[in-house]
Amino acid sequence: MGGTDPGRGARSLLPMMKPRSIAVIGASDDPTRIGGRPVRYCKEHFDGPLYPVNPNRPTIQGLTAYKSARDIPEAPDCAILVVPAAATIQAVEDCVARGIKGLVVLSSGFAEVGSEGAAMQARVAEIARKGGARLLGPNCLGAFNAQRGNFMTFSSSIEHGRPKVGHIAIASQSGAYGSHLFVLARQRGFGISSWITTGNEADVDVADAIDFFVEDPETHVICLYSEGLKERDRLFAALEAARKARKPVVMMKVGRSAIGAEAARAHTASLAGSDAVCDMVLKSFGVHRAMSADEMFDVAYAAARRQYPVKGRLGIMTISGGAGVLMSDAAADYGLEMPPMPEDAQAGLRKLVPFSNPRNPVDITGQAFNDLTGIVTGFLDAMIEKGGYDAIAGFFTSWPSAPSMSEPLRKAVKASAERKPGIPFALSILAPPAVWRQYEAEGFLCYEDPTRAVAALAALVGFGRAFERPQAAPAPALPAGALPAPAATVGEAEAKRILASAGIPVVEDVLAKSADEAAQAAAKLGYPVVLKVASPDIAHKSEMGGVMLGLADADAVRKGFAELEVRVAKYRPGARLDGILVSPMVAGGVECILGVNRDPVFGPVVAFGLGGIFVEIMKDSTLKLAPFAHDEAKKMIRAIKGFPLLDGARGRPKMDQDALADALVRLSVFAAANADRIESIDINPFIVLPKGGMAVDALIVPRKG
């Protein structure tokens, strides 16, 4: 068959996303059937050659039909395949033999239905790859480029008319929901650049779609719907490319619940992965994660103006004190600052309206009815010139609906906004569509709900900060001589020895085989001491009373040793007992938990939090993908609610945060180097001291399978 691997990257999708000619394999003469709709849509909107393929008819919808892709007089750039799953293998072979480089497989019955379908899917993908073609799907709803008119789909949404050309791109793993998103976007008047549904992702996946959108000059905002992510390195590269290109990514990542994750696997044969980890990953690349389609398009609509403030100082003008409070609450929820107007500016505004509240939110009151232009312009001018705000939100309720007020209000707000054109203005207004469009034409973001306006502005700040953020520093190398993670479960002593070789400080301890050895070790280490069961068969010693604290003399150590042996025999008869660990008591520090868990999609993830109730009850912890450098570790430490306990709150001594950060970095490097060998690591507690810190207990669970 010949051909070469087409590789990846944005250019490899050009044959299907910007084709000059298209074939439809399995074309139907009935324009309402699945095989007929792509023919109908492309006939109506695509201005290049269109080649229907159907061995049973000489013509399809007035066009000459061909028996096979091999019979087409030229090699089309793209082929739409609408044949049964069992016939798809031969159809793909015919297409690549004809030199077609873009394949859009709408057919279902592949990996989403079981192992036999998965085998057919793998074969189809292999044929395409060897033939030098990219394959979208199978089990997808196709794709289109709004400007080119190549509507390669059977979605009924195209019956509504050709989409408005614009700058928002949509990619969806779900075909039907992707179509739903497109229709919602059109109903809101948004222009679309491209639309891609990836289905089972036998070849083209979400990362490929992002790559294409990043390189596409017509795309300014990227909207994604995802049920499960895979191939983390390519996904990360694509998201980082979008960040560097200053193209905002808004993603609906579903499968947050256990039931939702299972449904995602059943739907597109994808693996949802841990939602908390996914959330952390998306934030690290500046992706805005939307919880609904409304939120997605609220943010995309705002981002399409391409104004991304880096600082989050919000000024609010309102004609309602209540709305001002509501918007202020929203600003606090979304992490925006609301600095007050300067005192001299407030004094000047009180002269204009004595009973106004010019602090921030700036309440101009209903007095504006008497002098709408003068009051609105006067207050807004002051906010723009003296407030130092990076974004402004205004609440004017239904004023634009009143013919006597709409035009004066629009002109007044426009006059002030033109004084500082670089900052986004979001207005909460109620108005007829024609009036609404007039405000939008002046550059204003318009929302009915004032909290949605604030949320959208907060998202713009998030994008601005992400775009300006420098790339993270590389993590250090694993120390020479570091031991590998164990192939089987080991006891605490061996786990700490392995982690110590990776540069993580551990408490000194002695493994005693008898009560006398324990007493001798205690005398050497210095009282008081801790005794702990050392057994590879008992992972969680505290649950069976396997830890004794504060033993102050040799007699207590000997009795403790004997008691622990008895407890092991009762708790788990036959458990291997390596001995009893003797360690000095560590006092004067703060207990922390350092851990690693392997995410099925993203690999090893480091978790950090304070020990005790802070993690188990307050859920106070942070996550970070391994590996990372010192600055990222310091961010993790500062991000927890309990950080003041480490920073000298209420007269407490300040703990050694650099030592703690170094331990986190060393753990991340070890986890990344052993990603294929570990399932989890638990350092609990790691005690941070005013100077230094050390792991007191450790557990390494090897990866299964």
| Same structural domain, 453 and 600 | no
Is residue 226 situated within a structural domain?
yes
Measured distance CA(28)–CA(26) in Å, rounded: 7
Instruction: Tell me whether residue 482 is in a domain.
Output: no
> Which stretches does DSSP call E strand in 368-524?
391-397, 425-429, 445-447, 510-512
Confidence of residue 5 (pLDDT cuts 50, 70, 90): low
Q: Are residues 579 and 594 in the same domain?
A: no
Confidence of residue 256 (pLDDT cuts 50, 70, 90): low
- Amino acid making up residue 233: D
Q: What is the average per-residue pLDDT within 73-81?
A: 98
So what's the pLDDT on residue 705?
63
pLDDT over 70 at 614, yes or no: no
If asked whether residues 568 and 463 sit together in one domain, one would say no
Tell me if the bond preceding 600 is cis, omega within 30° of 0.
no
Q: Is the pLDDT of residue 272 over 50?
A: no
Model confidence at 687, pLDDT cuts 50, 70, 90, reads: very high
Q: Is the pLDDT of residue 178 over 80?
A: yes
Rounded to an integer, what distance in angstroms lies between the CA atom of residue 232 and that of residue 229? 7
| 639-674 residue pLDDT tens | 999 999 999 888 889 999 999 999 999 999 999 999
484 is a domain residue: no
Q: Do 172 and 222 contact (CB within 8 A), yes or no?
A: no
- E strands of 106-183, at which residues? 134-136, 143-145, 165-172
Residues 533, 404 share a domain? no
> Are residues 90 and 44 located together in one domain of the fold?
yes
Rounded CA-CA distance 477/627 in Å is 10
Residue 260 confidence (pLDDT): 43
d(CA 308, CA 468): 10
Consecutive H or E run containing 214? helix 206-215
Query: What pLDDT is recorded for position 252?
Result: 96
Report helix, strand and coil shares of the chain as percent, to nearest 5.
40, 20, 40
Region 129-133: mean pLDDT is 96
pLDDT in tens, 300-315: 999 999 999 999 999 9
Q: For position 578, which CATH number holds?
A: 3.30.1490.20
The pLDDT score that the predictor gives to residue 269 is 37
Q: Which domain holds residue 422?
A: 322-468
Spatial distance between the Cα atoms of 611 and 597, rounded to a whole number of angstroms: 17
Mean pLDDT for the stretch of residues 52-81: 98
Amino acid 168: pLDDT: 98
How high is the pLDDT of residue 1? Answer: 33
Mean pLDDT of 411-432: 94
CATH number of the CATH domain containing 214: 3.40.50.261
pTM of the model: 0.90
Consecutive H or E run containing 116: helix 115-130
As a whole number, the mean pLDDT across the chain is 92
Task: Report yes or no on 311 lying in a domain.
Answer: no
pLDDT at 621: 86
Residue 258 has pLDDT above 90, yes or no: no
Q: Is 608 a member of any domain?
A: yes
> Is the separation of the CB atoms in 496 and 685 below 8 Å?
no
pLDDT tens, residue by residue, 282-292: 999 999 999 99
Tens digits of residue pLDDT in 136-148: 999 999 999 999 9
What secondary structure does DSSP assign to 534-596, as a single string? E-TT-S-GGGGT-EEEEE-SHHHHHHHHHHHHHHHHHHSTT----EEEEEE---SSEEEEEEE
Looking at the predicted structure, is the pLDDT value of residue 316 above 60?
Answer: yes
Backbone φ and ψ of 626, nearest 5°: -85, 145
Mean per-residue pLDDT for 248-268? 64
How many Cβ atoms sit within 10 Å of the Cβ of residue 567?
17
Top pLDDT among 96 and 266 is at 96
Phi/psi at 58 (nearest 5 deg)? -75, -25
Query: Which of 275, 303, 331 is the C-terminal boundary of a domain?
Result: 303
Instruction: Write down which residue in 541, 558, 583 finishes a domain.
Output: 583
pLDDT band for position 620 (cuts 50, 70, 90): confident
Cα gap 420→405, rounded to integer Å: 24
241 and 382 assigned to the same domain: no
* pLDDT > 90: percent of the chain: 83
pLDDT digits (tens, 9 = 90+) for 523-574: 999 999 999 998 888 877 878 899 999 999 999 999 999 999 999 999 989 8
Query: Total structural domains in the chain?
Result: 4
> Do residues 412 and 452 share a domain?
yes
- 366 burial level (CB within 10 Å; 0-12, 13-18, 19+): exposed
Q: Is the dihedral of CA 264, 265, 267, 269 positive or negative?
A: positive
Q: Residue 201: inside a domain, yes or no?
A: yes
In 33-126, which ranges are E strands? 50-53, 59-60, 63-64, 78-81, 102-105
User: Based on the domain organization, do 458 and 514 belong to the same domain?
Assistant: no
Segment 205-254, tens digit of pLDDT:
999 999 999 999 999 999 999 988 888 899 999 999 999 999 999 999 98
In this structure, are 286 and 175 located in the same domain? yes
345 and 264 in one domain? Answer: no
Which amino acid does the sequence have at 253? K
| Intra-chain end-to-end CA distance of the chain, in Å | 37
555 & 621 share domain = no
CATH of the domain at 644: 3.30.470.20
Q: Residue 287 and residue 196: Cα distance in Å, rounded?
A: 19
pLDDT in tens, 348-394: 999 999 988 999 999 999 888 888 889 999 999 999 999 999 999 99
Looking at 303, 333, 366, which one is the last position of a domain? 303
**315 in a structural domain:** no
At residue 324, the pLDDT reads 96
Q: Quick check: 692 and 505 in contact, CB under 8 A?
A: yes
- For residue 578, how far is the Cα from the chain centroid? 45
Residue 263 has pLDDT above 70, yes or no: no
Is 308 part of any domain?
no
Are 91 and 45 in a shared domain? yes
Please determine, for residue 410, whether its predicted confidence score (pLDDT) is greater than 90. Answer: yes
Single-letter residue type at 283? K
Contact 631, 662 (CB under 8 A): no
